[in-house]
């Protein structure tokens, strides 16, 4: 197994970018992991970098035009967390791998599938670990949904659907006015941001996580910042590889800024974040599939025999799953904490409880490319 670390016990992380996701994505989980620590952060602006490091107790700060380069060259950094705008993931991951570091890469892994392939090829060549931080996959609730779906309890999959919608009023609080998500050159767009979660949730729950989905339709709602190239919302349909001769379809609806409804759109919408899988004999729903650690429920709704046989449907049930069935996990562990557990285990040569294979990330990007290509060529990422 790879071993770039010179520290026998602690895996020492450096973060590229004083990013908003840093504290949840790595800093807090590392505090709670006996073998991980954040040793450095790089920020283009020295004052902001110093402030961030002080606030989060990070000993070293690299800044200025060479700051990112200095961080990845630091011999006290074993692993790099790439928390940069999407369009910079590829460049800095490749640089970090070249420098001999393991890399945890924020989602979406890259701007294109080809870039993702290059990352995994280089990681393999160097004997290093590269992982896309698709954190929700690592949570026991996600694993449980997949287990129920694939168990056959409710028969074969008929369709799957994700609704992931953030209302306008909330967008105002969570995104900057000139957020990097609205910049085409930084690989912005709702499908790059929320679409990847949705596509992966469906593929993972139905056991299709290494398959690029065929996109049967895609309709974008333009973002005012760059209406021809940046999608504010996307509705897409897919053909899932059929588990039987039944029609198996999937659908994602993502929206960064859903307007209000009712008279003059004055009535506020609530955020929605739900994965539903419909099977021959019922449905499984995961409410809050992106951040199940905050709150979630799994609703299992059997409907009886689709063939019309005289069977009585089993009772509906609700599950909440914060640890694995065998007790692994911890009190209050977030999706990011579970993810860190897996990343460290992999680097240390232990078998992670859950892993995201390179093909999963590559085919996620292939699917996103197909979504954009279906809409029009100006929003295409390849």
Ligand X SMILES: O=C1OC[C@@H](O)[C@H](O)[C@H]1O
The sheet with strand 297-302 has its strands ordered as 214-222, 231-239, 249-258, 157-167, 272-279, 282-287, 297-302, 317-319
Q: Does 166 bind ligand X (CB under 6 A)?
A: yes
Torsion over CA: 356, 375, 190, 254 (sign): negative
**What is the distance between the alpha carbons of residues 363 and 57, in angstroms, rounded to a whole number?**
37
State the minimum distance, in angstroms, from the CB of residue 290 to ligand X: 6
Q: Which is nearer to ligand NDP, 83 or 113 (CB)?
A: 83
**What is the distance between the alpha carbons of residues 48 and 57, in angstroms, rounded to a whole number?**
14
Q: Does 17 bind ligand NDP (CB under 6 A)?
A: yes
Site size with ligand NDP, rule: CB under 6 A: 21
**What is the distance between the alpha carbons of residues 115 and 365, in angstroms, rounded to a whole number?**
9
Q: Which is nearer to ligand X, 255 or 285 (CB)?
A: 255
Instruction: Give residue 1's Cα distance to chain centre.
Output: 25
Q: Does 132 bind ligand X (CB under 6 A)?
A: no
Shortest Cβ contact with ligand X: which residue? Answer: 193
Q: Tell me the per-residue interface mask from 184 to 203 with ligand NDP, x by CB under 6 A, - otherwise.
A: --x------x----------
Site size with ligand X, rule: CB under 6 A: 4
Binding partner of 135, given ligand X, ligand NDP, none, CB within 5-8 angstroms per partner class:
ligand NDP
For residue 280, give Cα distances in angstroms to 100, 247, 268, 369: 49, 11, 36, 31
State the minimum distance, in angstroms, from the CB of residue 6 to ligand X: 32
Residues carrying an active site annotation:
107
Among 78, 115, 132, 193, interactor with ligand X by CB under 6 A: 193
Q: Which is nearer to ligand NDP, 97 or 290 (CB)?
A: 290
Q: Does 19 bind ligand NDP (CB under 6 A)?
A: yes
**Beta strand 249-258 pairing with 157-167:** parallel
**What letters, b where the CB count within 10 A reaches 16 and e where it falls short, cover 306-330?**
eeeeeeeeeeeeeeebeeeeeeebe
Helix (H, G, I), strand (E, B) or coil at 108: coil
Residues in touch with ligand NDP (CB under 6 A) = 17-21, 25, 43-45, 83-86, 88, 106-107, 133, 135, 180, 186, 193
Given the rule CB under 6 A, which residues bind ligand X?
Answer: 166, 193-194, 290
């Amino acid at each position: 197994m790879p071993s770039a670390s010179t520290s026998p016990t602690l895996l020492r992380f450096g973060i590229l970018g004083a990013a908003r996701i840093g504290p949840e994505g790595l800093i807090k989980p590392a505090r709670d992991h006996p073998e991980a620590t954040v040793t450095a952060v790089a920020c283009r602006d020295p004052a902001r970098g110093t402030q961030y490091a002080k606030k989060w107790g990070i000993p070293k700060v690299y800044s200025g035009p060479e700051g990112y380069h200095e961080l990845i060259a630091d011999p006290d950094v074993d692993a790099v967390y790439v928390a940069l705008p999407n369009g910079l993931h590829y460049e800095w991951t490749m640089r970090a791998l070249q420098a001999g570091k393991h890399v945890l890469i924020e989602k979406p892994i890259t701007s294109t599938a080809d870039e993702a392939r290059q990352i995994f090829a280089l990681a393999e060549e160097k004997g290093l670990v590269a992982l896309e931080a698709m954190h929700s996959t690592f949570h026991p609730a996600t694993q449980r949904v997949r287990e129920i779906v694939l168990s056959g309890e409710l028969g074969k999959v008929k369709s799957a659907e994700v609704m992931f919608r953030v209302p306008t009023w909330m967008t105002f609080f969570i995104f900057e006015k000139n957020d990097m998500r609205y910049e085409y050159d930084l690989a912005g767009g709702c499908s790059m941001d929320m679409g990847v979660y949705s596509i992966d949730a469906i593929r993972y729950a139905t056991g299709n996580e290494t398959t690029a989905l065929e996109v049967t339709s895609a309709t974008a709602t333009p973002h005012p910042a760059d209406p021809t190239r940046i999608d504010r919302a996307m509705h897409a349909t897919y053909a899932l590889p059929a588990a039987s001769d039944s029609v198996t379809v999937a659908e994602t609806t993502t929206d960064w800024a859903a307007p209000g409804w009712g008279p003059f759109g004055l009535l506020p919408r609530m955020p929605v974040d739900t994965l539903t899988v419909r099977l021959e004999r019922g449905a499984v729903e995961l409410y809050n599939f992106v951040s199940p650690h905050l709150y979630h429920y799994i609703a299992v709704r059997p409907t009886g025999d689709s063939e019309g046989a005289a069977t009585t449907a089993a009772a509906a049930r609700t599950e909440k799953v914060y640890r694995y069935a065998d007790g692994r996990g911890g009190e209050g562990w977030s999706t990011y904490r579970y993810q860190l557990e897996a990343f460290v285990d992999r680097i240390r040569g232990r078998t992670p409880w859950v892993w995201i294979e390179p093909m999963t990330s590559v085919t996620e990007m292939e699917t996103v490319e197909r979504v954009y290509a279906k809409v029009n060529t100006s929003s295409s990422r390849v």
